[in-house]
Amino acid sequence: MSVEEYFSTGPPFERPIFDAVMAGLAAAGPVHIEPVSVGIFLKRAQSFAELRPMTRWVAVSFSLRRRATHPLIVRKVEPYGERYHHVANVRNADAVDDRLIELLTEAYLEAPPA
């Protein structure tokens, strides 16, 4: 499925959040976008972040080698192996701030290169 096909059926708040995340990650390097039925996976050689639409927000999940904090990370940060799983609940594109982009860029840089 293409990105356009994916967004043709999604909630209207989802696309602007995706666009804000992608604009923020533009300086990090090439990102492979994989739209699937449950959301969008952002990848290098493997997934480094997922954007999953919920009823009123997009759950932006990513893993890091450390526990990070951000006002949008309201779920408990779960350790698994040597990494920590984070989920930020993003309600609109304005919430995609520099700090969230820094965390997503860190996840990108920690992922194996393509």
Q: Where are the domains of the chain?
A: 3-110
Q: Which of 23, 15, 8 is nearest to 92 (CA)?
A: 15
Model pTM score: 0.94
Q: Is 9 exposed, middle or buried (0-12, 13-18, 19+ CB in 10 A)?
A: exposed
CA distances (Å), 96 to each of 24, 45, 81, 83, in order? Answer: 8, 24, 28, 23
SS3 75: coil
| pLDDT range class, residue 100, cuts 50, 70, 90 | very high
The predicted model gives 30-39 an average pLDDT of 94
